[in-house]
Chains A and B, each alone.
Chain A
Amino acid sequence: MRVRKLLAGSLAGVLLAAVTACGGGESGGSDGTTLVVKTFGQFGYDELYKQYESSHPGIKIKEENIAKLGDYSPKLQQWLAAGSGAGDVVAIEEGVLVQFMGQPDKFVNLLDHGAGELKGNFLDWKWQQALTRDGSKLVGLGTDVGAQGMCYRTDLFEKAGLPTDRDEVGKLWPTWDAYLATGQKFVAANKDAGFFDSAGNIYTNILMQQGDHTYYDTDNKLVIDSNPGVKTAWDQATQMIAAGLSADIAAYSPQWNAGFKNGKFATIPCPSWMLATIEKQAGPENAGKWDVAKVPGTGAVRGGSFLAVPTQSKHQAEAAELAKFLTSPEGQTAAFTSKNNFPSSPQAIDDTAVQSATNKYFNDAPVGKIFGDSVKALKPVYLGPNNLAIGDRVTAALTAVEQDKLSADAAWAKALEDAKRAG
């Protein structure tokens, strides 16, 4: 009996210990405040943290990073729903921010922390994206934008008798029609490689250049079948598929990763942060074979993020100060030099550190200038609530055309029907 009681007692003890262990934690350092920053991917803030800690004694910064955006977003949602775990500053990707804008009460209004005077530090559309419709509440401050270029293989271009100099290459495609014509020349001369990886990427780029909205109008009404811009992008993409330009290799698949190395496709629209991916996948033996030129059409953007302060933070004022510091022109310039995250601040874009930046791997391409020009030509595009899900469906329909499973018309009809169900 004694043994049993002892067992029961220790069992209860273990349970109790477990419960208290769960409740503990959360406490700051004994001398000062620890701010937890939640990020995904690479924000390139390490140097900035050190700088901030030394200029703000008593503040310690801890970054908790989740590599993939796809893993990060559901976690972020859980932290916000549970009311704990989100830390003090959170990174939010553009497509996810749209969904939070409907219920901004999970985040501190940064206008209450003096962010209003920083408006001039951001491209206007970037500022507007995180501002509620009535202009009373600012959910986040912009970090980077997915400035766009067109990466291409010089050796494949040379083999096809096309120019290889990046200025001349840029002149080959003032428009997407000209890009198509160039592609036809390329595939006529080169049977082993596609002109681009897959049509989804091209389609998204064309779409983002077609005016101020895509699948939804600014009243969140689904307009995919009445917005002529969507059909234009679709038609241009399917024409390119019909012309045999696509290598039909899904983005981020192992075949795609290998394709950078073994030259399975000659061009790919590349946001500034993708340069690092290309360098890693193509490897040192291909240094100088990839180069970057301007993107066809005028401006295009994909992705880009914000920093926000969740209301569950116990140090809201300090966290807001840190977010302001990290998104300042100087902070954005530092993030660019560290990890190629292209700034959303006009001052940072014009900063000589950004303007004069070149990329050695890409034949010393003046990436700061190329991407800077693309960003300034940008017009803001409104995305709308279920934009991600609809984008998935339209892109999948395009893939079906690439695989020869559906005609372009049948795929368009399917995309519309799927989009209506998702939207």
Chain B
Amino acid sequence: MVAPLRTSAPGNQDPVPVRAQHRLRLWDRWDRRVSPYLFIAPFFVLYAIFGLYPLGFTAWVSLHEWGIAGQAGFVGADNYVRLFGDPDFWNAVVNTVGMFIMSTVPQLLIALILASLLNQKLRGVTLFRLGVLAPIVTSVAAVGIMFSQIFDRDAGLANGLLGLVGVSPIDWRADRLPSWFAISTMVDWRWTGYNALIYLAAMQAVPAVLYEAAVVDGASKVRQFFSITVPMIRPTLIFTVIVSTIGGLQLFTEPLIFGSGDYAILGGSLRQFQTVSMYMFENAFRNFDYGYGSAVALMIFLMIVVVAAVNYLISRRMR
């Protein structure tokens, strides 16, 4: 299109090239306006196919009776009505939120402390920085199996250590709080280092002059940490809180492997540690009640949105 225009343009003052020039300018303007969208389009197109469409379809399925042999009729909000009266669902919500708090709070605090230690001038600091990353490159399954051995009732390391100080062995899978504790340990072991590295990156962007000024003013290391480091990396703190929220509310693999065995998806004999994701999976893929499973899935989505929003508001206030 471009080449022929250019060959006809010189020496010819006809209205035709004027129109052509006009067209060219139009194309140019259109190009400038639309092209950026075209360039970012691949992500959004893929997101629509693999993100939005499944979301919409899940919502659609949740309004139906949908068994292993396919759709069996529109039931409106029935699945949701059943969900709100389902004690097993609420039990799963309590478990999920409980384990989320039990794992995330210490996880982020330890990560923060770890990061500020790694931010000091240490011998072999690179080695330490790499070291905190090691748990992330281990597969979840390996972590799960290792920890389910540590927290074994009969021959576990944890009970062995407790025995040394005279505490009688704990049946980690039978009681609610011990099982939450074991699973939270698993989560923290895996993710603390990751968060520490993110904090470390943020801390290194804090201008050194601030610390120098603080030292001149006679501020202690602790005071520097709370008055300079924490406020300066606040956006990063908010980011990690939100990411941990999303991860924590979708907790699935760790409790599943911790439970182990034929009925692991129930998360304990009395569902002591069944998370909402596990309850969703149990309904959709063990009982083949896809409609109800989809309703649970949508509730997880809503829960994450709500908790993330609350998190955001709270962390914004913390000035």
Could you list which residues of chain A lie within 8 angstroms of chain B, going by C-beta atoms? Answer: 1-2, 4, 8, 11, 70, 73-74, 77, 80-81, 96, 99-100, 102-103, 106, 200, 250-256, 386, 388-389, 392, 395-400, 402-406, 418, 421-422
What CA separation (Å) do A1 and B3 show in the bound complex? 11
Cβ of B68 < 8 Å from any Cβ of A? yes
Interface on chain A toward B: helix, strand, loop, or mixed SS? helix
> Is the CB–CB distance between A406 and B69 below 8 Å?
no
Tell me how far the C-beta of B174 lies from the nearest C-beta in chain A, rounded to whole angstroms. 4
A–B Cβ pairs within 8 angstroms, 18 of them: A2-B2, A70-B285, A74-B288, A81-B70, A99-B288, A100-B68, A250-B259, A250-B264, A251-B262, A254-B149, A254-B260, A255-B152, A396-B268, A397-B269, A398-B269, A403-B269, A405-B270, A422-B287
Q: Indicate if the CB atoms of A1 and B2 lie closer than 8 Å.
A: yes
Q: Mark B55-79, 1 if CB is under 8 A from A, else 0.
A: 0000000000001111010000000
Excluding A103-B69, A250-B261, A388-B287, 6 further A-B contacts by CB distance (< 8 Å) are A2-B2, A74-B285, A200-B262, A251-B261, A252-B260, A421-B88
At the interface, yes or no: B263 with Cβ under 8 Å from chain A? yes
The answer to whether B287 touches A399 (Cβ under 8 A) is no
Contact of A399 (CB < 8 Å), options: B42, B70, B269, B285: B269
B136: A residues at CB distance < 8 A: none
User: Chain B residues with Cβ under 8 A from A400's Cβ?
Assistant: 269-270
Contact: B35 with A77, CB < 8 Å?
Answer: no
Check A405–B174 contact: CB distance below 8 A: yes
Q: In the assembled complex, how far is the CB of residue A251 from the closest CB belonging to chain B, in whole angstroms?
A: 5
Contact B287 A254 (CB under 8 A): no
Give the B interface residue count (CB, 8 A).
Answer: 37
Please report the C-alpha to C-alpha distance between residue A77 and residue B31 in the assembled complex, in whole angstroms.
47
Q: Is B184 an interface residue (CB 8 A)?
A: no
Is the pair A386, B68 in contact by a Cβ cutoff of 8 Å?
no
B interface, CB within 8 angstroms of A: 2, 31, 35, 38, 42, 67-70, 72, 86, 88, 145, 148-149, 152, 154, 171, 173-175, 259-264, 266, 268-271, 284-288
Nearest chain A residue, comparing its CB with the CB of B71: A81
Assess the B171–A250 pair: CB atoms within 8 A. no
> Which residues of the partner chain A approach B69 to less than 8 Å between Cβ atoms?
77, 80, 99-100, 102-103, 106
Known: A70-B286, A399-B269, A403-B269. A254 touches B31 (CB 8 A): no
Are B263 and A250 interface neighbours, CB within 8 A? yes
> Which residues of chain B have C-beta atoms less than 8 A from A100's C-beta?
68-69
A412 to chain B, nearest CB (A): 14
Distance in angstroms from B241 CB to nearest chain A CB is 34
- The residues of A that contact B171 with a CB separation of less than 8 Å are 403
The residue in B68, B149, B154 that gathers the most chain A C-beta atoms within 10 A of its C-beta is B68
Are A99 and B68 in contact, with the CB atoms below 8 A?
A: yes
- Minimal beta-carbon separation of B127 from chain A (angstroms): 33
Cβ–Cβ < 8 Å partners of A389 in chain B: 286-287
**Once bound together, how far apart are the Cα atoms of A398 and B269, in whole Å?**
8
> Which residue of B is nearest A397, CB measured?
B269
Taking a contact as CB atoms under 8 Å apart, the answer to whether B261 and A253 are in contact is yes
B27 CB → nearest A CB, Å: 8
Whether the Cβ atoms of A250 and B285 lie closer than 8 Å is no
Which residues of chain B are near A398, meaning CB under 8 Å? 269
- Chain A residues with Cβ under 8 A from B2's Cβ? 1-2
Complex contact B287–A103 (CB within 8 A) = no
Contact pick for B287, options A253, A386, A397, A418, CB 8 Å: A386
A98 CB to nearest chain B CB (Å): 10
In the complex, the answer to whether B261 meets A252 with C-beta atoms within 8 Å is yes
Q: Which of B31, B154, B286 contacts A392 (CB 8 A)?
A: B286
Which of A70, A96, A254 interacts with B145 by CB under 8 Å? A254
Q: CA of A332 to CA of B58 in the docked complex: distance in angstroms?
A: 42
Closest chain A CB from B179 CB (angstroms): 11
Chain A residue with minimal CB distance to B176? A405
- Which A-chain residue is minimally distant from B285 (CB atoms)? A74
Question: What is the chain A residue whose CB lies nearest that of B173?
Answer: A403
- Cβ-defined contact, B270 with A396, below 8 A: yes
Q: Find the A residue at minimum CB distance from B260.
A: A253
What residues of chain A lie closer than 8 Å to B86, measured between beta carbons? 421
- Distance between Cα atoms of A106 and B35 in the complex (Å): 48
Considering only CB atoms, which chain B residue lies closest to A414 in the complex? Answer: B270
